[in-house]
Amino acid sequence: MKNILKINFVNSAAVLAMLFLLIYPKETIYFAKSGLMAWFNNVIPSLFPFMVAVNIITCHSDRCVFPEFLTRSFGKIFNVNPNGFIVFLFGILSGYPLGAKISSDLYCDNQLETIDVQKLMVFCSNAGPMFIVGTLASSVLNNVKAGYIILLCSIFSNVITGITVNNIILKYSRPYIRAICSCRKENKKSPSAVQNSCEAVIRVGGYVVLFSVIGGMLEILDITDVFSAFVSSFTPVSASDIKTITAGMLEMTCGVNSLLNSTSPLSIKCAIGAFIVSFGGISVIAQSADFLKDTNISILFFVLCKFLNGLITSLLTYLCSSIFL
């Protein structure tokens, strides 16, 4: 029954989307182009080089050995398989959705089990430094120092979330026992690192364009404005900030760009931006879920952890920005 309702909902949404495309073709093309240019100008330069490097490393993981004291300490602190250290490292260095991509690759290579991937996704999926400091801080907030505060608070929030959830909620989870993963590749060197990275970046681009169009649909139909006005009527948060948060929960880049129109104090804007980049938005979650589809993890639990992570990052950022900015 649940699957039937899900299928009917998806089909109904697809029909409504096609009707919208027919009624507003010009606007749809505009939003699709905006998403495409955001992918071309921001995602490819910052994500593609890291994906190639990570694919090379994971394909030759037997030759890439991290210091044992790092991996062992990582495993004990976060109660997770030490092989996941590379997920944590490159997740911080590159950002979405590389943490999910590496976890999936290690799972398919039988270096991680399902429960390990679930634990890693609690704290190893985050925005990259280039986006936080470059796009959010420099271009939107016009304050580079704020970018470093948000970045450090984001990392610290990941550590808090990972330690708390993995050592309390998931501590006694029974590991999933498998002999060989069904998605295991017969030849680890095929496809090549560049080819694999190209496919992954194109998949990410598809989601960026899709959710740019969805966000445009909600804006044209005034759904976002009505919702923002309704929420602001019984909360101290302004309608413009509610609209920014709503846009960010759908698509991260759109939400960050909406901060340009905010008239709130810098500490409030930093806190909102911190929540948006830590939660990532439904677009990023959909990208991650696409890479993680073979791992059998709970996407709902992943979303709840991302939301918790966003709240912690936002609170830490507000406190730090109020003190240091």
pLDDT tens digits along 92-101: 888 888 889 8
Burial of 23 (0-12, 13-18, 19+ CB in 10 A): exposed
- Evaluate whether residue 115 is within a structural domain: yes
Q: In this structure, are residues 275 and 245 in contact, taking their beta carbons and an 8 Å threshold?
A: yes
pTM: 0.86
When pLDDT is averaged across residues 192-210 and rounded to a whole number, the result is 82
Query: In terms of residue numbers, what domain contains 288?
Result: 20-324
Which residues 6+ apart lie within 8 Å of 63 measured at CB? none
187 pLDDT band, cuts 50/70/90, is very low
Total domains in the fold of the chain: 1
Please tell me the predicted confidence (pLDDT) of residue 170: 83
Q: Select from 284, 285, 275, 281 the least CA-distant residue to 237.
A: 275
- Evaluate whether residue 311 is within a structural domain: yes
Which residues 6+ apart lie within 8 Å of 229 measured at CB? 239
- Evaluate whether residue 7 is within a structural domain: no
The 10 Å Cβ neighbour count of residue 290 is 17
pLDDT tens digits along 143-182: 999 999 999 999 999 999 999 999 988 876 655 444 344 4
Please tell me the predicted confidence (pLDDT) of residue 6: 61
- Evaluate whether residue 133 is within a structural domain: yes
- Evaluate whether residue 200 is within a structural domain: yes
- Evaluate whether residue 102 is within a structural domain: yes
pLDDT tens digits along 27-58: 888 888 888 888 888 778 777 887 787 777 76
Paired tokens of 202: 């194109």
Distance between CA atoms of 189 and 304, rounded to whole angstroms? 36
Residue ranges of alpha helices (H) inside 79-166 are: 85-94, 98-108, 114-123, 129, 144-164
- Evaluate whether residue 302 is within a structural domain: yes
- Evaluate whether residue 1 is within a structural domain: no
